[in-house]
């Protein structure tokens, strides 16, 4: 068999192989997984949606912003981390800031956020944890550190006219420890905290 005919044959085999493989791993496989997901793990497979009174208000996995149209924090809600997704928590445009450690914009932003939190939550700069000052990787981070949640307790309680100790207890009840006790970090899911807060405020 001549080498060029050999090569030609290899391409003919390659085309057929790609078609077969596309059907097997590109169509059948994802459809099977979709079937399994929809049957066995319907909640997760469809996005771990959170409902309040039967209405979907978001996903427990996708962070939200609790700001007004201008992007200013609404004092009655616990605030999520700063976000670089679109104009903030745009789940159609997940993104980090990608600012480097010496990026002047980032350095300014951190200073600005410090000031904003100082005034909003009435705390001093040294108390503010890093996650409150930095944008997350996805821009959709649903969680904040317990430290940041606790930092916001007084301001939120004040804005809602609630007993700070009750709000603090609520936050503490919503702290999720490390997975298996050692994976990841302790977190507070902001959406779930705010839903519980709204429940409490009723």
Partner 1 sequence: MYFWLFIAQVATLVLILGLLYRPLGDYMATVYTTRKNLKVERGIYRLIGVNPDSDQTWPVYLRSVLAVSAIGILIVYGMQRLQQFLPYSLGLPAVPEGLSFNTAISFVTNTNWQSYSPEVTMGYTVQMAGLAVQNFVSAAVGIAVAIALVRGFALRKSGTIGNFWVDLIRGTIRILLPLSIIAAIVLLAGGVIQNFNGFQHVTTITGATQSIPGGPVASQEAIKQLGTNGGGFFNVNSAHPFENPTPWTNIFAIILMLAIPFALPRTFGTMVGDKRQGYAILATMGTLFIASLVAMTLFEFDGSGTAPIAAGGAMEGKETRFGILGSTLFATSSTITSTGAVNSMHDSYTALGGGVAMINMMLGEVAPGGVGSGLYGILVIAIIAVFIAGLMVGRTPEYLGKKLGAREMKLASLYILATPTLVLVGTALSFAIPAVRADIEKTSMWNPGLHGFSEVLYAFTSAGNNNGSAFAGLTANTPWLNSALGVVMFLGRFLPIVFALALAGSLAAQDRVPATAGTLPTHKPQFIGLLIGTIILVSALTYFPVLALGPLAEGLR
Which positions from 32 through 61 interact with partner 1, judged by CB under 8 A? 32-34, 36-38, 40-41, 44-49, 52, 55-59, 61
Instruction: Confirm if 158 and 120 have CB atoms less than 8 A apart.
Output: no
> CB 85 → partner 1: shortest distance, Å?
8
Q: How far is the CB of 4 from partner 1 (least distance, A)?
A: 10
Please spell the DSSP secondary structure of 146-200, one letter per residue.
Answer: HHHHHHHHHHHHHHHT--HHHHHHHHHHHEE--BTTTBS--EEEHHHHHHHHHHH
Give the x-and-dash track for 117-156 against partner 1 (CB under 8 A).
-----------xxxx-xxxxxxxxxxxxx-----------
8 Å CB contact between 193 and 78: yes
Residue 173 CB, nearest distance to partner 1 (Å)?
A: 18
Alpha carbon distance 33, 67 (integer Å): 37
CB 191 within 8 A of CB 63: yes
Q: Which is nearer to partner 1, 95 or 154 (CB)?
A: 95
Among 111, 119, 122, 166, the residue binding partner 1 under the rule CB under 8 A is 111
- Which is nearer to partner 1, 144 or 165 (by Cβ)? 144
Answer yes or no whether residue 200 interacts with partner 1 by CB under 8 A: no
């Amino acid at each position: 068999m001549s080498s060029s005919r050999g090569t030609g044959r290899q391409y003919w085999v390659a085309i057929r192989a790609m078609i077969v493989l596309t059907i097997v791993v590109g169509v059948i496989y994802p459809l099977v997984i979709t079937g399994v997901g929809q049957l066995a793990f319907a909640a997760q497979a469809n996005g771990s949606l959170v409902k309040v009174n039967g209405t979907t208000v978001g996903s427990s996995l996708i962070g939200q912003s609790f700001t007004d149209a201008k992007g200013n924090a609404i004092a009655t809600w616990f605030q999520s981390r700063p976000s670089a997704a679109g104009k903030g928590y745009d789940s159609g445009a997940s993104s980090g800031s990608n600012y480097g450690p010496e990026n002047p914009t980032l350095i300014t932003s951190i200073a600005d956020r410090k000031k904003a939190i100082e005034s909003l939550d009435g705390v001093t700069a040294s108390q503010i944890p890093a996650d409150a000052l930095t944008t997350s990787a996805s821009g959709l981070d649903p969680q904040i550190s317990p430290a940041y949640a606790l930092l916001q307790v007084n301001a939120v309680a004040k804005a809602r006219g609630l007993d700070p100790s009750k709000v603090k207890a609520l936050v503490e009840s919503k702290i999720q420890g490390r997975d298996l006790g050692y994976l990841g970090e302790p977190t507070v899911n902001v959406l779930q905290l705010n839903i519980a807060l709204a429940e409490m405020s009723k």
